[in-house]
Amino acid sequence: MIDTERLATWLDGLDLPGKGEPVEHAYLSGGTQNEIYEIRRGPLHCALRIPPPTAPADRDKGIHREWRIIEALEGTDVPHTPAVAVCTDPSVLGRTFYLMGFVDGWSPMNMKDKKWPEPFGSDLSARRGLAEQLADGIALLSKVDWQARGLSDLGRPDGFHERQVDRWTRFLERIKGREIPGLDEASAWLRAHKPLDYVPGLMHGDYQFANVMFEHGAPARLAAVVDWEMGTVGDPKLDLAWMIHTWPEDTSSPEAATSGYVDLTGMPSRDELLARYAQTSGRQVDDIDYYCVLAKWKLAIVLEQGFQRAGDDPKLQAYGPIILKVMREAADLAETTRYRG
């Protein structure tokens, strides 16, 4: 819970509306990573993002990192939550936290039974716009001048691709509790290949429908890209691959409705989204297979961490076969792709 008296005292020292009025708050979401609360104080309406009390100490640095990104996005074309204020003083709420403008929109993660809200549930032509807006979000993100916006120290763009296999292989060795078929084949392929070009840029790190919000109603309009926990300066085309590596080419097929946690029926094909991204971002996508191998390989390793600590958690236990499937897909794509960069 939030100590509203301490929060109010801190807010009184800022140039924000609602000074002197009581603070109202409501829990919105959270878990082991970060918690989000809705905050109201007179005309002030925002969301507060904070690590849970039991989170490791380095989570505070992650929260401040997220803050730096959304603050840097101010004035860009990237839909984002407005940056309101940040607090690194643990005497206020016990952890580093930040306030962002409250977004009046909806998240695909809150849909029931994978059913899109109307009109997107019944109007497939309107549904196309959801995917197009999703692709536009990272295309616009890739164009942000991260150096001019003070993010030169956010990541280590030099040698980004050269580090990927070694870094994540070491990570896997620390948590590994079983053999993962396809791992060695995909790892060897990634070591032997590289993208056609590499233009560093700001990237989200976990870009998908789960981490965006849309405005209410049609046509589809992206309201905000959210959850910047994995944000860094690296290769933005890895965000693109993260988004489309399971995207079916034929979105009229039964696979489109069952391939993921959202129904992709009626949405643009994979190739159409790639073309849209290329047009908006100005980046070539001829080497997308390289990025898809990397995305699948990396996703399997990230999910393996959750699976290894699953215990009695059925949600984490369910990762087990998914990880094996995704890693096998990475190895199969590496074997069959014509890309030899």
93 with 139, same domain: the answer is no
CATH code of the domain in which 250 resides: 3.90.1200.10
Residue 218 lies in a domain: yes
206 with 310, same domain: the answer is yes
* Contact yes or no for 139/277 (Cβ under 8 A): yes
95 with 141, same domain: the answer is no
330 with 231, same domain: the answer is yes
Distance CA 152, CA 145 (A): 10
87 with 140, same domain: the answer is no
**pLDDT for 32:** 62
234 with 210, same domain: the answer is yes
Range(s) of the domain holding residue 57: 4-102
110 with 97, same domain: the answer is no
Residue 56 corresponds to which tokens in the numbers above? Answer: 């490791």
137 with 278, same domain: the answer is yes
What is the identity of the amino acid at 139? A
123 with 158, same domain: the answer is yes
Distance CA 176, CA 260 (A): 26
**pLDDT for 34:** 92
196 with 288, same domain: the answer is yes
Listed residues 78, 102, 126: the one ending a domain = 102
Residue 341 lies in a domain: no
Listed residues 85, 102, 119: the one ending a domain = 102
33 with 63, same domain: the answer is yes
Q: What is the pLDDT along the chain (341 residues), one digit of tens a residue?
A: 899 999 999 999 999 999 999 999 999 987 667 999 999 999 999 999 999 998 999 999 999 999 999 999 999 999 999 999 999 999 999 999 999 999 999 999 888 888 999 999 999 999 999 999 999 999 999 999 999 999 999 999 999 999 999 999 999 999 888 999 999 999 999 999 999 999 999 999 999 999 999 999 999 999 999 999 999 999 999 999 999 999 999 999 888 888 788 999 999 999 999 999 999 999 999 999 999 999 999 999 999 999 999 899 998 999 999 999 999 999 999 999 999 99
Residue 277 lies in a domain: yes
Burial of 267 (0-12, 13-18, 19+ CB in 10 A): buried
| Total domain count, the chain | 2
Question: 290-311 as b/e, with b when 16 or more CB fall inside 10 Å?
Answer: bbbbbbbbbbbbbbbbbbbeee
Listed residues 40, 74, 102: the one ending a domain = 102
Helix (H/G/I), strand (E/B), else coil: 300: helix
Residue 20 lies in a domain: yes
Q: What angle do CA 230, 37, 131 make, to 5 degrees?
A: 50
Residue 53 lies in a domain: yes
**φ, ψ at 272 (rounded to 5°):** -65, -40
Query: Which of these, 82, 298, 320, lies nearest to 179 by C-alpha position?
Result: 320
Residue 163 lies in a domain: yes
72 with 188, same domain: the answer is no
**pLDDT for 255:** 86
CATH code of the domain in which 84 resides: 3.30.200.20
